[in-house]
Structure 1
């Protein structure tokens, strides 16, 4: 491997370690606050922190046009599904083992491929069909229908993954005319009042260390995707997605060590099937679509 390529790969690994740490901290923060602070309230605080950060970033650039958009309708659609996806993900964190939530989340790119074919007129190729079939098989391996009553929480997380996929397809359309910073700013701006409205129905004042976890969730929600974007600028997307898979064993260890969760090897096997399906459907390399991935689950 040439020295330059090796250097870029090392940088990609370092950025992915940042993304992995951020995703895991966000999940741990959600688990720590589960049952203490309502999910809608967490989403509200997440939007507040994100809005402040994005406002400061855009303001520091001096480009006020980034605060506006001529496609506010599509932004609205994107954020309805994104908000629903976030809600399902946070609820799932409180109900399922952390590893299972992350494993089911890996179905997102497969749903995205299917939705893009249906609504963006993308070609439904044989590779995409194989990709989706491998993803469905991976879900069956993880959820194991017929062995026992399927936990409804698994369907909540799958529903969240589908909502994230619809949001990502909307993002793919928006990214042709909008800056990623605009999409992220409007995401926080539009979701903030929704989170506030539902939070007021059952508001609980955070105390003590709860504020720390809320801050961690708000910051890592942005840092995770920033790190992933930087990783994609240094390595091919397929390499980054493969490294992203290591979130699963890491969060499994966290679940076993800190929350006494059991770990089933079928999670790894099912997730490998989904990873294989995701990789078989990828043609994009390097930084072509890096900005899109940055806002995929932000």
Structure 2
């Protein structure tokens, strides 16, 4: 989904089990959130679901206000927040739409192409130096994206292009967070972003508004709860462990949504999705490992919000 934050990595061996635990919880909860989105889509449009996810997500961030007081709103970069939130809401709307219209495993797997676009953006916008090995990993990753999109196959749909748009916009969000995180506190970024997203997502939701009824209320409340809780677990995981160690765990989400998709929606994970996801997985793991080995913390493997990868 974007409540991003800069993460200070503490590589202490004592923290490794806790970091892995938080990352597993985050991954599973983000996967379950995607399932809630799909269940709510039986009655609501994806854009309306995005609004309710943000609305209830904001409610679940209010404890941050209690913890920090009104001082959490102190900032001199409000314009950058708005720019970052506009980009982020495009990513979220596209990602939610893709979750509703694509097999869950394929939609989530495509979202993991975000680090590939971040690498390109980091070079163009931030002036980061990317050498031949990482460029090769990016190229291999894009081959995985092509495989996932099933070009030329009967199963290719325009919805996969929407999922790719979500990944590109998510990458733009990650780049913008690089600038915000230089001066802003993580919890300030979380609460400002969620608060601004509520009205931004309400406008497109109005065009497709349907009053939620029955169990749909449960799904949209849970989407906000799971999304916010998952993000808090994710930030804590990256504070306790290195991204190169935790990145592989995040791909558990593909298996989680694939399992739910099979049992709840009769979706089967085809070989294209498996092969494409495996290629992207290998590319991302290498990129994270390479950055860790070079000991250069970058936006690519430190500041990508996994929720925006699927939203």
Give the alignment's TM-score, normalised by structure 2: 0.86
Structure 1 residue 39 corresponds to structure 2 residue 49 = no
Ranges in structure 1 where 5+ consecutive residues have no aligned partner: none
Q: For residue 297 of structure 1, what is the aligned residue in structure 2? A: 307
Q: Which deviates more, 203-212 or 168-177?
A: 203-212
Offset from partner CA, 1:172-197 (integer Å, 9 cap, x none): 11101111111121112222112222
268, 273, 276: which one aligns with 2:274: 268
Q: CA deviation at 1:69?
A: 2.0
Query: Is the counterpart of residue 239 in structure 1 residue 245 in structure 2?
Result: yes
Matched, 1:146 2:143: no
Alignment-derived partner of residue 166 in structure 1: 172
What is the CA distance between 1:140 and its match in structure 2?
A: 1.6
Shift of 1:19: 1.1
Structure 1: 4+ residue segments shifted above 3 A: 288-298
Q: Deviations over 1:142-170 (max 9, x none)?
A: 22312337310000000001111101110
Matches of 1:183 and 1:292 in 2, distance apart?
15
Q: Deviations over 1:114-143 (max 9, x none)?
A: 111111111232133112101111012222
Counterparts of 1:104 and 1:36, CA distance in 2: 25
Q: Retained in 1: the 8 A contact 2:47–2:96?
A: no
Match of 2:4 in 1: none
Give 1:111 deviation, angstroms: 0.7
Q: How many residues of Structure 1 are paired with residues of Structure 2 in the alignment?
A: 292
Aligned-pair CA distance for 1:237: 0.9
Tell me the residue number matched to 1:16: 23
Aligned to 1:249: 255
Structure 1 pair 168–146 and aligned structure 2 pair: CA distance change class (3 A): same
1:216 equivalenced with 2:222 (yes/no): yes
- The answer as to whether partners of 1:58 and 1:181 remain within 8 angstroms in 2 is no
Cα–Cα, structure 1 residues 177 and 141, in superposed 2: closer, same or farther, change >3 Å? same
Distance 2:172 2:245 in 1: 24
**Higher RCO (CA < 8 A, seq sep 6+):** 2
Which one of 154, 157, 163 corresponds to residue 163 of structure 2? 157
C-alpha separation in 1, matches of 2:24 and 2:242 = 16
User: Root-mean-square deviation (CA), in Å?
Assistant: 2.3
Q: Distance in 1 between matches of 2:156 and 2:213?
A: 36
Q: Partners in 1 of 2:134 and 2:304 — Cα distance? A: 23
Q: Conserved in 2, the CA contact under 8 Å of 1:171 and 1:295?
A: no
Contact kept in structure 2, 1:184 and 1:295, CA below 8 Å:
no
Structure 2 match to 1:186: 192
Q: Matched residue of 1:297: which SS?
A: helix
Cα gap change, 1:295 to 1:70, in 2 (>3 Å): farther
Structure-2 separation of matches of 1:16 and 1:122: 27
Q: Which stretch shifts more, 82-91 or 188-197?
A: 188-197
Rounded Cα–Cα distance in structure 2 between residues aligned with 1:75 and 1:69: 10
In 2, Cα distance between the equivalents of 1:183 and 1:264?
38
8 Å CA contact 1:164–1:297 kept in 2: the answer is: no
Query: Which residue, 66, 71, 76 being the options, matches 1:59?
Result: 66
Distance 2:276 2:207 in 1: 39
* TM-score, reference length from structure 1: 0.90
CA distance in 2, matches of 1:60, 1:231: 20
